A and B are shown apart, each in its own frame.
Chain A
Amino acid sequence: MGAEPPVKEPSPKIVIVDESPIRAAILEEGLLEAGFTAVVHIREMQSLLSRIYAIDPDVILIDLENPSRDILEQMFQVSRAVRRPIAMFVDQSDAASIQASVDAGVSAYIVDGLKKERIKPILDLCISRFNAFAKLQDELERAKSALEDRKVIDRAKGILMKLKGLTEDEAYVLLRSTAMREKKKIGEIAQSILTASELLK
């Protein structure tokens, strides 16, 4: 169940420029839940400006890993290629907001005229969703590397069991005590056993 839109005026048109479909989906879902119903995701960077002009958004959100950010800067320029100049939602008075959005890895551009109090909730939501995505990705990475470590340790245990006639528990204890003595991770010791056994084959 989506909440009521925060204001009675029609929902501002929001474009999300992000090559990551998962992150964009997380953000879009958050915006929809908060009552911002007009959200378009642009994934394809070709002809970015003409797509944006066709959509004619009030707000553009772009991730900072995207080189196309520089293309958006062109929208501030008065020229024939640019229909209506866009101002960026950063002014000197809002240092905390800028800091938080750069930290989260996102930047917002708003079309001249949209009131500041209307952009603030959008940006805040965007920052928190970007941070949530980063945390998720971080956890995923850690889970992945833990799984990798587990595989390496299992193989190293196998080698020790075979070469030294140890039980599985004894092999693990040997790995762990070596790691403690050398102030290294068990995964690192296991990896060096694998490397050594490759070399000695």
Chain B
Amino acid sequence: MSTALHIGFIPLIDAAALLVAVDKGFTKTEGLDVTLAPEVSWSNVRDKLNIGHFDAAHLMAPIAIASSLGSGHVKVPVVASFNLGLNGNAITVSPALHAAILHEAEGDPFDPMVTALALARVVASRRRSGAAPLTFGMTFPFSTHNYQLRFWMAAAGVDPEEDVRLVVLPPPYMVDSLANGQVDAFCVGDPWNSVAVDLGVGHILNFVSDILPRAVEKVLAVRQSWAERNPQVLAALVRAAVHAADFIEQPENRAEVADILAHPQRMGVPADVIQRALAGRLKIAPDGTMHEDKNYLLVGRDGAARPDPAQAAWLYAQMVRWGQTSFSPAALEAAMAVFRPGLYDAALGRRPGGTGLAASGLADNALADSALADNALGELGPVDAFAGPRFDPRDLQGYLTSLAIPPRQHA
């Protein structure tokens, strides 16, 4: 008997592992009958997951954490036992801002420190001449894009709240807003960066993979209460997603994957735009200049699919840094417990002393124990960045106070 699941997603390339798992029949093989529901806003995905319209969702990692902490919205604990993707975002700027940054750049413009310092000089000269502050678009208050933009500019001393304006824009509106001057730049995932370049209204300035080499982006999220009631179903879903991620990462499958994603009911954008992002080879300027980074988007490669609580700690640190929440050791622990490498391992039968979920005895209230066990494993990955002090989840406050722009007070 197959289990019916409703899963929400936003039409973005980093939903690939979910979409391919369903469209290639990997979920069916696992006994799951999945209905995919495209959504138009992260608020909708969050709310429909919260109230149980969705059993699982393609969710931005910081929203999963904010939901679990009750930051900015109702508190509904969520767990992530599969990373849909690492990286995959880029900073795209208008042709005018691009020219201004290149004019001020001293060194390799692919180096995000060079562009951040150049941005600082552009910001300063605009202030001197009385020009309006630059406006940057991002996708959501609790978004990787918000934190990545802030992290990048703050490293060069640009205060994201004092020196520029950051505004939320739904991804489908990004390109138009750049074209009509509503924003000077944006940070978003693909296809939108490539669409802006193809239309000649934007230049990709930096890949976020050059700013943070391994940044968790989207997770496959479920309510914690649901995970506790349906451990076998969750494990089956993770296995199907792992299967899909492996399939996507084989270069010979890229054309087929791009065709699956290009379908009007999935993303509805040309397959070649999708192929570029999957290959990490993007057209960065309207004149056809290409730039490549094999880590542009990681879907399961190099352990990318396995959740790392250190990544959750980094995102929580950004929330504290920018005043969205106040620091507490309990909240840090709760944030890290959203990411469940133990559930990922258990789904694949890799948990020590067990061969699969049943053998691991991971049922019902064992979930809370497994979260503790996950964190006690001490196998947190490093969270590297292009600038700033070394990130240490065990000394978050030390990390935050040693940053060039110190943390904001939470109101």
A: which residues have CB within 8 A of B? 45-47, 49, 64-74, 76-81, 88, 90-92, 95, 98-99, 102, 107
A73 to B44 alpha-carbon distance, docked (Å): 11
Q: Which 3 A-B pairs have the closest CB atoms?
A: A67-B170, A78-B411, A69-B41
Residues of the B chain whose Cβ atoms lie less than 8 Å from the Cβ of A66: 40-41
Classify the secondary structure of B's interface with A: loop
Residues of the B chain whose Cβ atoms lie less than 8 Å from the Cβ of A65: 40
Tell whether, in the assembled complex, residue B169 and residue A71 are in contact, meaning their CB atoms are under 8 Å apart. Answer: yes
| Partner of A71 from B40, B51, B168 at Cβ < 8 Å | B168
Least Cβ–Cβ distance between B348 and chain A, in angstroms: 34
| Partner of B168 from A47, A73, A78, A98 at Cβ < 8 Å | A73
| Partner of B51 from A68, A69, A78, A99 at Cβ < 8 Å | A99
Tell whether, in the assembled complex, residue B170 and residue A70 are in contact, meaning their CB atoms are under 8 Å apart. Answer: yes
| Partner of B41 from A70, A91, A98, A102 at Cβ < 8 Å | A70
A97 to B277 alpha-carbon distance, docked (Å): 41
Tell whether, in the assembled complex, residue B75 and residue A69 are in contact, meaning their CB atoms are under 8 Å apart. Answer: no
Least Cβ–Cβ distance between A70 and chain B, in angstroms: 5
Tell whether, in the assembled complex, residue B167 and residue A46 are in contact, meaning their CB atoms are under 8 Å apart. Answer: no
- Does residue B317 face the partner (Cβ distance < 8 Å to A)? no
Residues of the B chain whose Cβ atoms lie less than 8 Å from the Cβ of A73: 42-43, 72, 140-141, 168
| Partner of B141 from A46, A67, A68, A76 at Cβ < 8 Å | A76
Nearest-neighbor residue (CB-CB) of A103 within chain B? B53
Residues of the A chain whose Cβ atoms lie less than 8 Å from the Cβ of B161: 79-80
Tell whether, in the assembled complex, residue B74 and residue A67 are in contact, meaning their CB atoms are under 8 Å apart. Answer: no
B320-340 to A contact mask, C-beta < 8 Å, 1/0: 000110000000000000000
Task: Kindly list 5 other residue pairs between chains A and B, CB separation below 8 angstroms, not including A71-B169, A73-B140, A81-B167.
Answer: A73-B141, A80-B161, A80-B162, A92-B74, A102-B47
For the A-B complex, the count of residue pairs with Cβ-Cβ distances under 8 Å equals 76
Tell whether, in the assembled complex, residue A47 and residue B182 are in contact, meaning their CB atoms are under 8 Å apart. Answer: yes
Nearest-neighbor residue (CB-CB) of B160 within chain A? A79
Tell whether, in the assembled complex, residue B43 and residue A69 are in contact, meaning their CB atoms are under 8 Å apart. Answer: yes
Sample of 17 A–B contacts (CB below 8 Å): A64-B44, A67-B41, A67-B173, A68-B173, A69-B44, A71-B168, A74-B141, A74-B168, A76-B73, A79-B161, A80-B161, A80-B162, A88-B73, A90-B73, A91-B74, A99-B51, A107-B47
Tell whether, in the assembled complex, residue B324 and residue A77 are in contact, meaning their CB atoms are under 8 Å apart. Answer: yes
Tell whether, in the assembled complex, residue B167 and residue A74 are in contact, meaning their CB atoms are under 8 Å apart. Answer: yes
Least Cβ–Cβ distance between B315 and chain A, in angstroms: 16
Tell whether, in the assembled complex, residue B182 and residue A46 are in contact, meaning their CB atoms are under 8 Å apart. Answer: yes
Residues of the A chain whose Cβ atoms lie less than 8 Å from the Cβ of B48: 102
A72 to B42 alpha-carbon distance, docked (Å): 11
- Does residue B166 face the partner (Cβ distance < 8 Å to A)? yes
Residues of the B chain whose Cβ atoms lie less than 8 Å from the Cβ of A88: 73
- Does residue B121 face the partner (Cβ distance < 8 Å to A)? no
B145-184 to A contact mask, C-beta < 8 Å, 1/0: 0000000000000000110011111111100000000100
B288-329 to A contact mask, C-beta < 8 Å, 1/0: 000000000000000000000000000000000001100000
Tell whether, in the assembled complex, residue B72 and residue A77 are in contact, meaning their CB atoms are under 8 Å apart. Answer: yes
Nearest-neighbor residue (CB-CB) of B48 within chain A? A102
A81 to B41 alpha-carbon distance, docked (Å): 21
Residues of the B chain whose Cβ atoms lie less than 8 Å from the Cβ of A67: 40-41, 170-173
